[in-house]
Amino acid sequence: MVFLPPEVIAWSRNEVIWFERSRIRPIHFNAPEPKRQFLNRISGQNVIWPNLVFRISRNNISCWAVKSKTKPGLETRLYNAPFTNIFTDHRFCPPTRFHEIRDENMVDFARKAVDIFFRGHFSHLYGDMLNSITYPRGRDRFWEKMVKDLEHGKCTSFPNRYLVPSNMNLRSILS
């Protein structure tokens, strides 16, 4: 028998749907493009992360944002996660450490995968990544502003108004 932590929405032997509540934590960047290197200066600074839903298997991790403050239900609308390193099909391009997780238990595997996601460095743009947030100055400048606003006490929650709908709900990622 396996204890299911409150973050688990659904699970099988091969996959876990995991909910991570919005909270303040550091965000890390390793932006190689000269126009984006300002992100490297704010790497490691605290931001307010959105509520996130992950679909995790041993080979892949996919990520969406949600506006709901409570654990999502089947009809909860999913939004594009406002990060780089995420393909247009919502798969995250994880660092090598993801593929080194050896836990037999899928729930423990998922916990470590999510930790790697949050400790990883966001770097590369893939496909139509510019549509991951509606902030007028773009995703990269959004995170820069978030760092400054949080430092000056101007931000107390993630601004969900900038999230872009993905045309999916939780039910659609369970199948």
CA distances from 168 to 122, 164, 171 (A): 24, 11, 8
Rounded mean pLDDT, 123-131: 68
Q: Does residue 43 sit within a domain?
A: yes
Q: Which domain holds residue 55?
A: 8-174
Q: Does residue 3 sit within a domain?
A: no
Q: For the segment 4-30, what is each residue's pLDDT rounded down to a tens digit?
A: 999 999 999 999 999 999 999 999 999
CA distances from 69 to 13, 63, 66, 147 (A): 27, 17, 8, 22
Number of structural domains (the chain) is: 1
CA distances from 85 to 53, 125, 156 (A): 16, 6, 26
**What global pTM score does this model have?**
0.93
Q: Does residue 1 sit within a domain?
A: no
